[in-house]
Amino acid sequence: MPVANLIDGRAIASQIQSETAQRVAALKARGVQPGLVFVRVGEDPASKVYVGMKEKVSVQLGIFSETRVLPQTTTEAELLALLAQLNADARVHGILVQAPLPKHIRETVVYSTVLPQKDVDGFHPENVGKLMLGDPSGFWPCTPAGVLELLVRSQVKIEGAEAVILGRGNIVGKPMAAILCQKSKHANATVTICHSQTQDIKAHCRRADILIAAMGSPKFVTADMVKPGATVIDVGVNRVSDPTAKGGSRLVGDVDFDAVQPIAGRITPNPGGVGPMTIALLMQNTVRAAELAAESTKS
């Protein structure tokens, strides 16, 4: 039986992908095929799964994609040399370097090397700066951008809302806060970021109209932390042991869904909430990068 207050990320992602497919078709009619290259270093099992999922959606939408797999022993200089090649390749509109990287490679250096106009992950300092300044010309990180789409397309009131974000990471927490507090449409929220040193996290959570959990702590958000009627977005992906599950483990979110769902006004499932949106926004960013490249070539 469907849950009445569920925010269906798969359905909303499907809507966005239909829109993106139309844009791909329009580009192809002009002789342009959007191109996306995934770069994976090493054989991290989760990374292989994530890249595989992204590749599959690329094919479905008509986006040219390929994956460059480098061994775990690849040096930072070798990875940067590959990125320089991809930066110079006009067929490539988007470059995604899959995290995590081996410890001997500095993520900040890698993200800074990808050209800002090909940084469809939104991690280049120029794109991060544009987000902070409210400049819409940059690319936003896919997960927080996907969360915003979930809120907007579910008609959740953001303007004037109290939004509490659990987690201050560079991939979700910080950019999410920047997006929600912009002085613009579908923003203007009052934002609080909570983290491991926050005093009385429960008190902050209980006043949230919008609660976004992105701290990487299994089932951290419990029923007593949620204001009745609040919108709860679960970004967390945590693997926990479960002898009854295939492989002896399963994935859970940062929210105790079964306990919180009866209290929340709206809530995302996990899986099936934020995850599909991240991929949908990656494809949207890639197509936009191709559109911008085509315009710059024409001019």
Q: Which positions are annotated as active-site residues?
A: 54, 98, 121
Q: Is the dihedral of CA 168, 173, 179, 183 positive or negative?
A: negative
Here the tokens at position 179 are 């997006």
What angle do the packed helices 9-29 and 274-298 form, to 10 degrees? 20
Cβ–Cβ < 8 Å for 58, 284: no
Cβ–Cβ < 8 Å for 210, 161: yes
Name the β-bridge partners of 250: 240
Here the tokens at position 215 are 């701290």
Task: Residue 184: count other Cβ atoms within 10 Å of its Cβ.
Answer: 11
Cβ–Cβ < 8 Å for 295, 72: no
d(CA 205, CA 65) in angstroms, rounded, equals: 41
Here the tokens at position 206 are 């209980």
Q: CA Rg, the chain, in Å?
A: 19
Where does 110-237 show beta strands of DSSP type E?
162-166, 190-194, 210-213, 231-234
> Nearest CA to 184 among 147, 210, 158, 146?
158
Here the tokens at position 227 are 């204001």
